[in-house]
Structure 1
Amino acid sequence: MVDTQSELVRTFTIDTELSHSQLMAFPKFIREHMTFGALPGLKMSGLEAYASSGGHYMEFKSGPQRKSYECSVRVYLERPIKVELRSSMGRDQEFEKQLENVLLMVVQFFEEEARKSTLYVAFMPGSPKTAQLRQRTSGVRNIFMGNMISLFLLSILIGIAVFSIMSALGFGLYAPIVMIALMLTLVLSAGKISSLGTPWKITKNSREVVIVQHQVPEGALQFYVGEYRDKIRAAKQSLFTMFASYSGEIKSETVAQEFVKAGIPADKSDFLVRRVDVYGIVERVARKFDLSVPTIVISHDPRPNAAATGFTKQLATMIVTMGLLVQLDDEEIELVMGHELSHLRSGDPVVLFSLVVAEYFARVYVLFVYVTPLMQIPGLLIVYFIGVFWGIFFFGKFLETRADLEAALILQKPKVMAESLKKIGFRRLVLEERFLEPGGSRLGEWLRMDPHPPLYFRIQRLESLDLVNPPKHPFLSSVRAVTSGFVNSRRVP
C-alpha cells in the first residue's frame, strides 16, 4: 500500500477513450506487455491493484533510474485517469515529467490494444448512414491527408511526364503551360477530390458526431461481429433513431439496453458514449483566426488525423478522421483544428504552389538549357530531384512549426497542443524518436522526407513556450528554431 502519510507532491490526469471495464485491465496490461512488468525507463516495484469504496486504483513505487529519489504512485482507474505522487523526499520535477510522459505513452499503447476488442459505431444525426471505423483508407485521400506538399510533389512528377511526352511529340515549347494548367486544376480541386467517397458533411444544422464504443471479449471482435451481424444492425438503427430525436445526454446504460433488446448480451460498463460538436469546435477556432468556417467532412479512417486542403480560404475543405474524434478530447481537437486553420490563414498552399512553379520554370528554362551537358552525367538528374524534394520538405518544416506556434498562441494552450501531438504520434515517439530515452544523435529524424519536424522537437518547443513573452514573428521564430534544431541534432549529449 502507498504510504498516505507521505506528502502529496503532484497530481495530474490523463484523458482516455477507455471504458470502465477496459480500465480494470490496465494493471494486467502493464504486467504482461511491459518489459519485466514495469514502466519503461523508470525504477518500479510493488505493482498492486485495489478496489475500495473510493474506486479502483493501482499503486507502485517508482523513481528515476540513476537517482536515489523514490515516490509512491497511485493511479485511479477512472475517466479521466487520476495520478497521485507522494514522497517523503520532496519533489523531483524532472522525474515527475518523465513519469507523466511514460504513463501517457503506456496508456496510448493500452488503448491501441483495447481497440482490437472494441466495436465502434458512429452516427451523424441528420445523416441516415451509420459507420464503423475502417481498417483501410483510400490511397487517393492519403495524398491530401498528410500535407499539401504531397500534392505539389505529385504535380512535379506529372510535370516530368508531361514534358517528356510533349517533347517527344515535338511540342516541348508548350509543355510548361500545360503543366501549370494541370497543376492549378489539381490544386484548385483538392478539396473536392479529398472529400470523394466521404458521405458525412458537417454543417451548421448537422454539426455533431456521436460515437458509441462497445467492448467485446478480448480477441473475439471478428467472431462477435459475424455472430451478431443482423442484431448489431438492428441495434444501430434503433440507436440512430434515438440520437436523431434527442439532443441531450444519452447514457451508456440506455445504449446497453438497446443492444439487449436486439438480442445481444451487454453490460453498461462495456459501453462509452460521446457526442462531439465538430462544427462548434471548428467554428470557435475559425472565429479566433478571423476565418469563415471551411467545408468540413468526416473520414471513417481510424487513424487520428486532420488536414485542411484547398488553394484559397474560400475553397478550403477540412477533413477530420473518425480516429481523431475517438482518440482526442474536445480541447485537443480544437488545437489540431487551429494548426490546420493556421495553414489556411497564412496562405501556405499558395506559398507552396509558387515554390513548386518557380522550381519547374528554373529547371525547364535554366537547368535544361544552360546546364544540359552536366545533366547528362549518369545519376545526376536523380540526385537533383532527391535534393529538390528534400529541400521542399525541409521548407515545409518551417510552415508546420509556425502552424504549431500560431495555434498555441492564438488559442493560448501550448501544453494541450503538445499533449495532442503525443497522442497522435505516440508510436513514432517511442519506437523511432526515443522520446522516453533522451540522448544520441537525432540527425536521421531530421533527414526524413517529411514536411513535419520530428515530434520530439515540436513537443519540446510547445512545452517551453512562454505565453507572457511570445515570439513577435512566428514564421521567423520558427525558421530559426527549425534551423537550430537541425544543426544541433548531430550533437550527442
Structure 2
Amino acid sequence: MFSRIALFLMTNLAVLALASVVMSLLGVNSSQMSGLLVMAAIFGFGGSIISLLMSKWMAKRSTGAVVITEPRNATERWLLTTVERQAREAGIGMPEVAVYDGPEINAFATGANRNNALVAVSTGLLQNMSEDEAEAVLGHEIAHVANGDMITMALLQGVLNTFVIVLARVVGGIIDSALSGNREGGGRGFAYFIIVFALEMVFGLFATMIAMWFSRRREFRADAGGAHLAGRQKMIAALERLKLNHGQSTLPTQVAAFGIAGGIGQGLRKFFLSHPPLEDRIAALRAANNNTAV
C-alpha cells in the first residue's frame, strides 16, 4: 500500500513540476504558480482520500448492507467460510461480509485497507446464482481487494483532479489574457472564471475517460483473480449468468464502479463505462485458458 501511495505522490509531484517549468517558460509569476500548485494538490487529493477513508461507511449506509456477524442460516455460513478461505489464499485480512437488498445479480468490494475491507453481495445474487457461480463472484471481489484497486483508483483520481485544476487555470489565464489584452490593473476579469469553469468541465471529461479506462483494465485483472481463486470455468459461468440476467445496476453511484456488473453502453458512452462488456470479459478468460492449454 505504501509503495503504491509513494508512486502516485511521485507522479503527482512530477505533473506539478512539469506544469511549473512550463509556466516559468511562459512567464507566469512564480509565486502565483506556487500557490496554484499547492491549492491544486490539496483539493485534488483531498476529496479522493476522504472518499476512500469513508468508503466502507458510505457503502453500508447507501446500500443498506447488513454485515454478517453471526451466520443465521446455511447460506450465510457458506458466505463467511468461502470469503475466509479466499482471503487467506489471496494473502489479505478477512473482510467484513455483508448482504444488501437488491434485485439484480451484483456484488462489490470496498475499503481503504486491504486487510480491513468490505465484501457485499446482493440478495438477487444469492437467489439466482449457483454456489459455484457465487464462489467465482466472491473470488472476483477478493481479487479487487488483494490488488489494492480501491486505493489505486482513489490515488489516480487525485492525480487527475490535480491536473484538471492546474491545467484549467493555466489555460484559462492564457485565454483571458489574449482576449482582454492589457486589462487595467492587471487582474482577472469575470470572463476568466467562466473560462476556467468551462475548461474544468472539458478537462474533467477527459480525466473521467482516463479513470474509466483504468477501471475497465482492473476488471479484467479481477476476473483473472477470481478464476485463480475459484476456477476459470466457474468464473466464466458466473459472467455468463450475469450476461443472461443483466440489467442496469441499482447500486448507488459511489459504489457502482466496484460492483461486478456493468459494461452497458454504445457509441461515446462506452468510453465512460467503469466495466468492459461482459462478452469481452468472457472472451479474455477463454483466451487465457486456451493459452494455458497450449
Q: Is this a same-fold pair by TM over 0.5?
A: yes
2:275 maps to 1:459: no
Q: Secondary structure at the match of 2:121?
A: strand
**Which residue does the alignment assign to 2:239?**
421
Equivalent residue, structure 1, for 2:119: 318
Residue in structure 1 matching 2:55, options 190, 213, 220: 190
Tell me, in whole angstroms, the C-alpha distance in 2 between the residues paired with 1:461 and 1:291.
Answer: 26
Query: How much does 1:366 deviate?
Result: 4.0
Hey, what's the Cα distance between the residues in 1 that align with 2:157 and 2:197?
Answer: 25
Query: What's the offset of the Cα at 1:199?
Result: 6.6
Separation (CA, whole Å) in 1 of partners of 2:129 and 2:268:
25
Partner of 1:408: 227
Q: Indicate whether 1:280 and 2:99 are aligned.
A: no
TM-score scaled by structure 2? 0.65
Match of residue 202 from structure 1: 68
Contact 1:281 1:330 in 2 (8 A): no
Structure-2 change in CA distance of 1:389 and 1:470 (3 Å):
farther
CA spacing shift, 1:327–1:445, aligned 2, 3 Å: farther
Secondary structure at 1:194 match in 2: helix
Q: Which runs of 5+ in 2 are unaligned?
A: 1-34, 176-191, 248-264
1:208/1:278 contact within 8 Å kept: no
Partners of 2:269 and 2:293 lie apart in 1 by 25
Alpha-carbon shift at residue 183 of structure 1 (Å): 3.1
Contact 1:335 1:416 in 2 (8 A): yes
The structure richer in strand per residue is: 1
Higher helix share: 2
Contact in 2 for aligned 1:306/1:336 (Cα 8 Å):
yes
Question: Are 2:152 and 1:351 aligned?
Answer: yes
Choose the corresponding residue for 1:389, options 208, 215, 219: 208
Q: Is the 8 A contact 1:446 1:454 kept in 2?
A: no
User: 1:299-314 counterparts in 2 under 5 A?
Assistant: 299-314=100-115
* CA offset digits 1:174-233 (Å, max 9, x no partner): 575356344322211111221127473223x426455xxxxxxxxxxxxxxxxxxxxxxx
The total of aligned residue pairs comes to: 223
Please say which structure displays the higher CA radius of gyration. 1
Q: Deviations over 1:28-87 (max 9, x none)?
A: xxxxxxxxxxxxxxxxxxxxxxxxxxxxxxxxxxxxxxxxxxxxxxxxxxxxxxxxxxxx
Instruction: For 1:452, give the aligned amino acid.
Output: H
Instruction: Structure 1: state its 5+ residue gaps.
Output: 1-170, 211-274, 430-441, 472-493
Change (3 A) 1:398 1:298: same
Q: CA deviation at 1:448?
A: 4.6
In the TM superposition, 1:479-490 aligns within 5 A as none
Q: In 2, Cα distance between the equivalents of 1:175 and 1:202?
A: 41
CA distance in 1 between counterparts of 2:103 and 2:246 reads 17
Using a 3 Å threshold, how does the CA distance of structure 1 residues 453 and 182 change in structure 2: closer, same or farther? closer
Q: Answer yes or no: is the 8 Å Cα contact 1:202–1:208 preserved in 2.
A: no
Indicate conservation of the 8 Å contact 2:59/2:65, yes or no. Answer: no
More displaced 10-residue stretch of structure 1: 358-367 or 387-396: 358-367
Does the CA-based 8 Å contact 1:409-1:470 persist in structure 2?
no
CA spacing shift, 1:298–1:393, aligned 2, 3 Å:
same
The one-letter amino acid paired with 1:444 is G
Query: Aligned equivalents of 2:71 and 2:196: distance in 1?
Result: 59
Q: 1:441-491 CA distances to partner (integer Å, 9 max, x unpaired)? A: x973882521111111111222333277289xxxxxxxxxxxxxxxxxxxx
Q: Deviations over 1:260-305 (max 9, x none)?
A: xxxxxxxxxxxxxxx7611012112212212222011110212111
Q: 1:339 aligns with which of 132, 140, 151?
A: 140
Pairing of 1:87-486 with structure 2 (within 5 A) = 174=39, 176-177=41-42, 180-196=45-61, 198=64, 200-203=66-69, 205-206=70-71, 208=73, 277-370=78-171, 372-374=173-175, 376=195, 380-411=199-230, 413-428=231-246, 444=267, 447-466=270-289, 469=292
1:432 equivalent in structure 2: none
Q: Partner of 1:469: helix, strand, or coil?
A: helix
Q: Aligned partners of 1:386, 1:380: CA distance in 2, in Å?
A: 10
For residues 229-269 of structure 1, what are the alpha-carbon distances to aligned partners after superposition, in whole Å with 9 as ceiling and x for unaligned?
xxxxxxxxxxxxxxxxxxxxxxxxxxxxxxxxxxxxxxxxx
Conserved in 1, the CA contact under 8 Å of 2:71 and 2:77? Answer: no
**What letter is aligned with 1:278?**
L
Cα shift at 1:424:
1.8
Q: 1:423 to 1:312 in 2, by over 3 A?
A: same
**What RMSD in Å do the two structures reach over aligned CA positions?**
3.2
Is the contact between residue 168 and residue 196 of structure 2 (CA under 8 Å) also seen in structure 1? Answer: no
